[in-house]
């Protein structure tokens, strides 16, 4: 169960959702199953962030991930409303287009606000929630890089002068275990002008994160959903104290802290993340099947 498949059972293809083209990564024994584990990446990731976990889960259930608008290989239109609300609506359109009625959502980074907003609006469709260094961030203050991105001109300048070497250096901050070179290179290669524009618009459109978290918490708490929280304890952007705060919204939440992991624990400690996530998701799916 915790061992990767010898060969990847995943497939990639392009789809259209909400008028945009995006890349989808999928697998599982039944490609038409109406219940699936749905992975949502953050900034500046893509569906490829989840390949390892999806490969491990694919023999057991339908798994699905996709590039959010502005990221990875998705369309990156200049006039798209990059926002939490638009991201939540896009998730809903993808799931509707793919025939998914029941979803176990796995979220990371900005995938948290997108996915939790979708969950709050679709309480009957969400079956479990897995949070990886994301969640309800009540009382959160923007980290330094986010404050730079939210500042006009300064944000554009930062994006303009960031080189591959500088990006590798920045990704090492708060990551004691280090990140695979190919993981960081892939992120940098995907971060073209369209993605840089999307990042700036997204962060500048998110002005009320604390208020939004409180509203989402109030909507999701009565659902009492099964929840797993996995957190890199050395994350310099989202302090580990927020891992335990998720129980305020999800009282049954199981919290697993990986002390020497950073903001991308699925990349710097894939085995540790898999050992937490796989049993949880398999249990949820098996309970529903029973």
What pLDDT, on a 0 to 100 scale, did the predictor assign at position 5?
38
Residue 4 confidence class, pLDDT cut points 50, 70, 90: very low
Residue 285 confidence class, pLDDT cut points 50, 70, 90: confident
Q: Using CA atoms, how far apart are residues 111 and 134, in angstroms rounded to an integer? A: 8
Distances (CA, A) of 254 to 143, 177, 231, 261, 284: 26, 24, 11, 18, 13
What pLDDT, on a 0 to 100 scale, did the predictor assign at position 182?
97
What pLDDT, on a 0 to 100 scale, did the predictor assign at position 174?
87
Q: Report which of 189, 206, 191 is spatially closest to residue 82, judged by C-alpha positions.
A: 206
In this structure, the number of other CB atoms found within 10 A of the CB of residue 197 comes to 18
Could you tell me which residues are beta bridge partners of residue 36?
103
DSSP H helices in the chain: 51-57, 84-97, 111-121, 144-149, 154-161, 164-172, 181-190, 193-205, 209-220, 241-245, 265-268, 270-289
Lookup result for tokens 């176990």: 104
Q: Which 3 state secondary structure label does DSSP give 158?
A: helix
DSSP state of 247: G
> Does residue 146 carry a pLDDT above 60?
yes
Residue 199 · residue 43 · CB < 8 Å: yes
pLDDT in tens, 88-133: 999 999 999 999 999 999 999 999 999 999 999 999 999 999 999 9
DSSP string covering 42-69:
-TT--GGGGHHHHHHHTTTS-EEEEPPT
What pLDDT, on a 0 to 100 scale, did the predictor assign at position 1?
40
Percent of the chain with pLDDT over 90: 92
Q: Report which of 289, 98, 135 is spatially closest to residue 214, judged by C-alpha positions.
A: 135
Q: What is the mean pLDDT of the chain?
A: 94
Residue 233 confidence class, pLDDT cut points 50, 70, 90: very high
Q: Using CA atoms, how far apart are residues 93 and 76, in angstroms rounded to an integer? A: 17
């Amino acid at each position: 169960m915790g061992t990767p498949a010898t060969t990847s059972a995943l497939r990639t293809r392009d789809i259209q959702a909400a008028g945009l083209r995006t890349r989808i990564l999928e697998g599982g024994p039944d490609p038409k199953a109406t219940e699936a584990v749905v992975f949502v990446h953050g900034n500046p990731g893509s569906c490829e962030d989840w390949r390892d976990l999806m490969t491990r889960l694919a023999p057991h259930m339908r798994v699905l991930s996709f590039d959010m608008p502005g990221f990875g290989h998705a369309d990156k239109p200049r006039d798209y409303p990059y926002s939490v609300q638009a991201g939540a609506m896009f998730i809903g359109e993808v799931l509707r287009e793919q025939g998914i009625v029941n979803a176990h959502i796995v979220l990371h980074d900005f995938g948290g606000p997108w996915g939790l907003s979708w969950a709050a609006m679709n309480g009957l469709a969400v079956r479990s929630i897995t949070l990886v260094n994301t969640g309800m961030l009540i009382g959160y203050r923007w980290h330094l890089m986010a404050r730079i991105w939210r500042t006009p001109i300064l944000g554009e300048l930062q994006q303009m002068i960031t080189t591959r070497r500088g990006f590798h250096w920045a990704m090492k901050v708060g990551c004691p275990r280090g990140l695979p070179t190919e993981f960081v290179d892939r992120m940098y290669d995907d971060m073209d002008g369209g993605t840089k524009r999307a990042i700036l618009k997204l962060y500048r459109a998110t002005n009320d994160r604390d208020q939004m978290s409180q509203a989402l918490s109030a909507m999701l708490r009565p659902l009492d959903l099964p929840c797993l929280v996995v957190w890199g304890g050395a994350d310099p952007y989202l302090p580990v104290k927020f891992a335990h705060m998720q129980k305020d919204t999800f009282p049954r939440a199981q919290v697993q802290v990986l002390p020497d992991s950073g903001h991308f624990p699925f990349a710097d400690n894939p085995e540790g993340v898999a050992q937490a996530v796989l049993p949880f998701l398999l249990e949820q799916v098996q309970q529903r099947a029973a």
